[in-house]
Amino acid sequence: MTISGVSGRTSYIGTGILNLRSQLDTLTQQLASGKISTTYAGQGDGRSLAVGLRAQIAGLASYADTATNVNTRLDVMNLSLTRLTKINSEVKGAAVAAGNTLDNTGQTAGQKTASLDFLDSVDMLNAQSGDRYLFSGRATDTSPVTPADVIMNGNGAGVAGLKQVIADRLTADLGTVIPGQPATGRISSAVGVAPTAVTLTEQDTTPAPPLTANPFGIKLTAVATSLTNTGATVTQPVVLPTTIPPALPAAPAQRTMSVDLGTSVPQDGDTIKFTFKMPDGTSEDIVMTASATTPLAANSFLIGANNTATAASLNTELTKSIQNLANGPMAAASAIQAGNEFFGEPPQRIATAPLDTATTMVAGTKADTVFWYNGEADSATDPARGTAVARVDEAITVQYGARADEQALRVQLQAVAVFAAVSTKVTDFNASGKIAALSQRVAQNLAIIPGTQTIQDIQADVAGAQASIKATADRQVQTKTISQTMLDSIEGINNDEVATKILALQTALQASYQTTSDLYKMSLVKFL
């Protein structure tokens, strides 16, 4: 008969021990890793759902990183916009309250404030987050605004900055100056063919045909009078079309308006109001008052023995008032208009020389004029916010782009720059009127105009983007928590349960080892 050895008789015990050891190793690995298995195969029926949940959680983490980056950019952008809003208040307040006292540089304290704020404004618009310029539209690697000193003074190689453009425009607006006399802004006053009439003449048009309106100097708008007893008559200026086709008869190369005092002398206190259009499109009035006493006050004329003498006095005094207007408020309006042209896209320059007789404008080039904005050009069909788009959720994007040449930003930068650029001589008789008119216009240009974009509107867009990001992030945190809980239920373990199983297996394994050991020690003698 065949006799089996001990190992043969106890092989089933060895197999059981190996099985227990394998279970112990698996449980020990689960306890160490906290996972039911290191492979999807070991996760059972829930493995497909686990794959989907892991992908969802990874996607949420990616969106969270995007939201963090975008929020950082928005925070930096908002800091710049907040500073620009403060600059608006500072310069507007300085323009209103700083007065007209000039220092040795020919500027007021308010203009000094504007100079510092202009430097700060350029820095704010050149703000960066990481290596990204925030106000360049899609041109994120390009500094959007030319350095402040270059904008003001040019680059020293024949490329004109704002100060040069303002000076050129003023020369063109003042017109030809008669030696020894102040400029009159391209208009003149004279006694007409009738000795009782005073005529203002505008020397502002090119030869016809075709006839085009000259953009420089003071423009005649209207004349009105309160003279009641003289039979006075007024002649309004003819409205000149922008262009008269060659087929039409040529219009006169000059425009006029006049007042005829009539047959009787004016009464003391009677007035004649002349209205003029300034280079920047604003209006200014000269109100001449009839006076029977001397010395004459400003903007008044002497009632003479007859209307011929009275008209002569009106002509003389009106010429003085026009000179004050041209070198005071018109000079300020000229600076504002020069700012409009310099900060345009492209900038505009006077086309011909000499400047005082020029009649046309031409687009500047980078070879002769500083271009203040270097980022992506603004476009009415392409909103600035759409130049930077970030996806913060599967179906949610936020737009947070900006361009430094957006209306609100350009208008403010332009107003501050012009206020800072203008200077005048302390000895200039018209300095006070020029600075007062400039301050008034700067304050008006910095005021909020209903229906136009403001910096607060841009801030509102930024705040809206941040609110959308926050709401999305809050929802994603909750979604991630739910998904992670479900994933843990599939992949995770109950530590207490596994520890209990390990203890039970260790006990069973120890008993198996003891039993096996006893079997291997058994002999026939012991058995008998």
3-state secondary structure of 166: helix
Say what angle helices 431-446 and 307-327 make with each other, to 10 degrees: 60
Residue type, 345: E
Q: What does the pLDDT average to over 215-223?
A: 93
Mean pLDDT of the chain: 83
Q: What is the DSSP letter of 202?
A: E
- Report pLDDT for 209: 47
Strand bridging mode 211-212 / 132-133: unpaired
Q: How far apart are CA 420 and CA 415, in angstroms?
A: 9
Q: Do the beta carbons of residue 144 and residue 404 sit within 8 Å?
A: yes
- Report pLDDT for 53: 65
Spacing of C-alpha 26 from chain mean position: 64
- Report pLDDT for 262: 86
With a pLDDT cut of 90, the percent of the chain lying above it is 49
- Report pLDDT for 381: 65
Q: What is the DSSP letter of 378?
A: P
- Report pLDDT for 65: 87
The predicted-structure confidence for 104-146, as pLDDT tens digits, reads as follows 888 888 999 999 999 999 999 999 998 899 999 998 899 999 9
- Report pLDDT for 520: 62
Q: What does the pLDDT average to over 406-420?
A: 96
Which of 39-53, 72-86, 458-472, 497-511 is the least confident region?
Answer: 39-53
Q: What does the pLDDT average to over 140-158?
A: 92
The predicted-structure confidence for 420-438, as pLDDT tens digits, reads as follows 999 988 888 888 899 999 9
Closest by CA to 364, choosing from 342, 349, 377, is 349
Show the 3-state SS of 320-360. Answer: HHHHHHHHCHHHHHHHHHHHHHHCCCCCEEECCCCHHHCCC
Q: What does the pLDDT average to over 494-499?
A: 58
The predicted-structure confidence for 231-271, as pLDDT tens digits, reads as follows 889 999 876 555 545 444 444 557 889 999 988 889 999 99
Q: Which string of b and e fits 391-427 if b means at least 16 CB within 10 Å?
A: ebbeeeebbbbbbbbbebbbbbbbbbbbbbbbbbeee
Which of the pair, 3 or 361, is modelled with greater confidence? 361
Question: Is the sign of the CA dihedral 224, 225, 228, 229 positive or negative?
Answer: negative
Work out the pLDDT band at 1, boundaries 50, 70, 90.
very low
Measured CA to CA in angstroms, residue 234 lies from 60, 187, 221, 225, 309 at distances of 78, 18, 13, 8, 18
Residues 6+ apart with CB under 8 A from 306: 265
The predicted-structure confidence for 16-51, as pLDDT tens digits, reads as follows 666 666 656 555 655 555 565 555 555 555 556 666
Q: How far apart are CA 479 and CA 56, in angstroms?
A: 9
Q: How far apart are CA 234 and CA 184, in angstroms?
A: 22
Which of 250-259, 379-388, 413-422, 460-469 is the least confident region?
Answer: 250-259
Q: How far apart are CA 273 and CA 188, in angstroms?
A: 16
Tokens of 254: 């000059």
Measured CA to CA in angstroms, residue 264 lies from 238, 271, 306, 313 at distances of 27, 15, 7, 15
* β-bridge mates for residue 393, sequence order: 396
Tokens of 272: 């004649």
3-state secondary structure of 59: helix
Strand bridging mode 197-202 / 255-260: antiparallel
